[in-house]
Structure 1
Amino acid sequence: MLANLITSEVDPSVGPVLELGPGTGVFTQALLRRGVCERDITLIESAHGFASLLRNRFPEARVICADAARLGAHNLPDGVSFGCAISGLPLLNMSPKTVIAILNGVSSRLREGGAFYQFTYGLRCPVPYRLLDRFGFKATLHGQVLRNFPPARVYKIVRRRPLHCASVTA
């Protein structure tokens, strides 16, 4: 149910999709069910075992075994702006510096009007308000899955000001 919620606004018209922390590919599978073409999905997974599994499960997707906090240093498709980013990363367990690096990477790769979907088991958006503000983002509760254990919330994060104002350093 969480995978269906986090991907509910994504369809082939969104364009290329960036997925951070896909693990075994549950969200990836939901994207495929929504009609997103496998070759339009880029998966960033830091665990070598999961990256290998993802390459076998989704041979047409671009799988990059890398730290999501270092998106700029990896072989992402040149000139591709992603229509959205789906995140399975545990942002609440990360340092503010790491969250800033992830937001910088995602922000620089999302096209104008693109959205960043992040789930959390917390009661609030996992991106603190001060960081949303620094990046020119706004977050809205996209939905929640109370039948998930633990219950999960999905936030949709979008820009509220132009792209050229969004780059922030740690």
Structure 2
Amino acid sequence: MGFGVSSSLGNMKNKLQFALNFLLRPLQNASLIPSSYRASKAMLDGIDFSTVTSVVELGPGTGVFTKEILKRCKPDTTVLLLEVEESYVTMLREQFGGKVIIERASAHLLDSFLAKHRIEKVGLIISGLPFSLPEPVRKELFLSIRRHTSNNTIFRFFTYNPPFMKRAYKSLPVRKISFVFRNIPPLWVYGIN
């Protein structure tokens, strides 16, 4: 079987697993299909990756943003992925192997995993998390994000619903980065720094 066919089958498997996870846990998986390539570009455009030595991705799902991160970052950049869904962790390990550090863990435990992997300064945090996180989890995560962004860490995330996002993120100084019409559903990219 040729590489192109194998790669296409892998992509189809990832999309089917993503759809199944949405049907089983719609509050954890906010969309029926993974984000588009255009969405991953919009999430990362404008970031100077020559200065980024470590990246954390929260809720990487099937790895759409991870692929773009790895294309843009320097070879020696540390990339840490935190994902709670076991099926995604398996996919991520198959796709990226030793190129990234993958932890099956909740995003609110970010600081403990940074300590575990001796990552002192985070250059970029990318979030694919839904806004339906339990309040204690969201509160701890936002405190961590605020600490990191006050130390010049770049934070990027997306939403399908800006009014809901603005309520959820009201404690953080977020700004709109871009709008991606060519995504199903269309999404808005927001960030800090």
User: Which of the five TM-score ranges fits, normalised by the shorter chain?
Assistant: 0.7 to 0.9
**Structure 1 length-normalised TM:** 0.78
Partner-residue secondary structure (3-state), 1:78: coil
Whether the 8 Å CA contact 2:84–2:105 is kept in 1: the answer is yes
Aligned length: 152
Aligned to 1:7: 44
Aligned to 1:19: 57
Displacement of 1:96 in angstroms is 3.3
Q: Which has the higher helix share?
A: 2
Q: Deviations over 1:15-65 (max 9, x none)?
A: 200100001110010112223437521100111221122122112211111
Q: Which has the higher strand share?
A: 1
Displacement of 1:124 in angstroms is 3.7
**Structure 2 length-normalised TM:** 0.69
Cα distance in 2, alignment partners of residues 90 and 109 from structure 1:
20
Aligned to 2:191: 156
Cα distance in 2, alignment partners of residues 71 and 6 from structure 1:
20
Cα distance in 2, alignment partners of residues 71 and 146 from structure 1:
31
**Code of the aligned partner of 2:136:** K
Aligned to 2:16: none
Q: Is 1:63 the equivalent of 2:63?
A: no
How many percent identity over aligned positions? 28
**Code of the aligned partner of 1:123:** P
**Code of the aligned partner of 2:143:** N
Aligned to 2:139: 100
Q: Would the alpha carbon gap of residues 141 and 125 (structure 1) be closer, same or farther in structure 2, given more than 3 Å must change?
A: farther
Whether the 8 Å CA contact 1:100–1:131 is kept in 2: the answer is no
Cα distance in 2, alignment partners of residues 20 and 127 from structure 1:
19
Aligned to 2:128: 88
**Code of the aligned partner of 2:191:** K
Displacement of 1:86 in angstroms is 0.3
Q: 1:35 aligns with which of 52, 62, 73?
A: 73
Q: Deviations over 1:75-131 (max 9, x none)?
A: 64224211010000012x223332212122334455721111010001247253542
Q: Would the alpha carbon gap of residues 72 and 82 (structure 1) be closer, same or farther in structure 2, given more than 3 Å must change?
A: closer
Larger CA Rg, structure 1 vs 2: 2
Backbone CA RMSD of aligned residues: 2.2
Displacement of 1:70 in angstroms is 2.3
**Code of the aligned partner of 1:2:** A
Partner-residue secondary structure (3-state), 1:113: coil
Whether the 8 Å CA contact 1:42–1:61 is kept in 2: the answer is yes
Whether the 8 Å CA contact 2:110–2:141 is kept in 1: the answer is yes
Whether the 8 Å CA contact 1:125–1:139 is kept in 2: the answer is no
